[in-house]
Structure 1
C-alpha cells in the first residue's frame, strides 16, 4: 500500500485503477456482494485511499456504471453509423447495446436476477445514461423523457430477455422505435420472410 500507487497523474489514474479492480470483483463475487474492502484489496490500496476517491459503495457503483455506459455507447454509435434511416439506427442501437452488455461478462453480472432491480434503479436515475441514450433520438421537446424511457427499455430487455434475437427485434420495431420516432408502428409478425425483409 505504499510506493507510487498514486504517483504521477494521481486523480484520474487512481480512480481508473480502482474502477478496473471493482470490475474484477463484480465479476468474481457479484455486484451485490462486492464490498469496499474487497475492491480496495483488489486494487492494492487501503480502504482509506478508496474512500478518498469514492464516498461509498453506491458512488463507486455509479461511477463504474457511467464509465462502462460511455464505452458501450461509443461502440454502439460506431456500429449504427452507417444504418440508412433513423428507424434502423434506433432499432440497431437498442439491440446492439443489449448484445454488447450480454457479451461482456462483467456487465452481464449487473443483470443477474438478484441484482437487476438495483441496477435498474441506478440506471433509471442516471442523467448520464439518459443523455447517452438521447444521442440516438431526434431532438424535440420530449427528448429528455424519451431518453429516460429508452433507458428503461434497454434495462428491461437485459433483465427480462425475449425468446430470442428475432423476438426482441420484433418487440423493438413494433413497440419502441415507432413511439420514440413518432412513426407508424410495424405490426408484430412471426413470419420469417417478413422479419428478414425488415433488416
Structure 2
C-alpha cells in the first residue's frame, strides 16, 4: 500500500468513526447499526465493512480513539501532581468529568448502553492508555483495570455530587490501591 492509499484509508476510517460517534450521541450506542453509519458517513455498506468488519470492531475503534484522547487530557491535568494518592483521585475525577462533558462519550454510559460501555472498557488498549495517565506508567495495568471499572461505575451510577465522588475515591479506592487512608 502506498503512502497515499494509507492516508486515504486513514481518512476514510476517521470519517466513519466520526459519523458513528455522532449517531451514538443522537440515538444511543445500542440503537446504531452499520447501515446507519454507512449512510451518515456517505459510503456504501461494502466500504464500511472494508474498514470495520462488525459493529463491535467499529465500537472498539471509537472507544480506542476516545480512550487515547481522554488519557492525553487526564495526563495533562495531573502532570504536576506528585502525591500518588491525589494523582489517582484527580485523574479518576478528570476522566469522569471529561466523559460527562462530551455528548458522544457520555452516550455510552446511558442506561441502555452501559453494558456495551462495560465490555468496551475492558479492552487492553483502554486500560493501557489510562494506566499511563493515572499512574504514569503502563506497568500498573492491573491497578488501572480496576480503576477503569470504578470510573465506569461512577459514570453509570453517579455520586450525589463531585464532592461525594471525591470522598468515595479517597475513602474506598485509594486504600485498596495500597496508598493508605487519606483524610
TM-score, length of structure 2 as denominator length: 0.91
**Which ranges in structure 2 are unaligned for 5 or more consecutive residues?**
none
Task: Return closer, same or farther for 1:66/1:140 CA change in 2, 3 Å cut-off.
Answer: closer
- Residues 46-195 of structure 1 correspond to what in structure 2 (within 5 A)? 46-124=44-122, 126-135=123-132, 136-137=134-135, 143-180=140-177, 182-186=178-182
* 1:102-122: CA deviation from partner (whole Å, max 9, x where unpaired): 010111100001110221122
Q: Quick one: distance in 2 between partners of 1:156 and 1:64?
A: 20
Compare relative contact order (CA 8 Å, sep 6+) and give the higher one, 1 or 2.
2
Question: Who wins on radius of gyration, i.e. which is larger?
Answer: 1
Give every structure 1 segment of 4 or more consecutive aligned residues whose post-TM-superposition deviation is greater than 3 Å.
Answer: 138-141
Distance in 2 of aligned mates of 1:144 and 1:24: 30
8 Å contact kept, 2:67–2:130 = no
Choose between structure 1 and 2: higher helix proportion: 2
TM-score, reference length from structure 1: 0.84
In the alignment, structure 1 segments of 5+ residues that lack a partner are: 1-5, 188-199
Residues 131 and 138 in structure 2, CA contact (< 8 A), matched pair in contact too: no
Q: Secondary structure at the match of 1:176?
A: helix
* Contact 1:133/1:150 (8 A) holds in 2: no
Alignment correspondent of 1:194: none
1:18, 1:43 within 8 Å by CA — same for their partners in 2?
yes
What's the C-alpha RMSD, in Å, of the aligned pairs?
A: 1.9
Pick the aligned partner of 1:36 from 25, 29, 34.
34
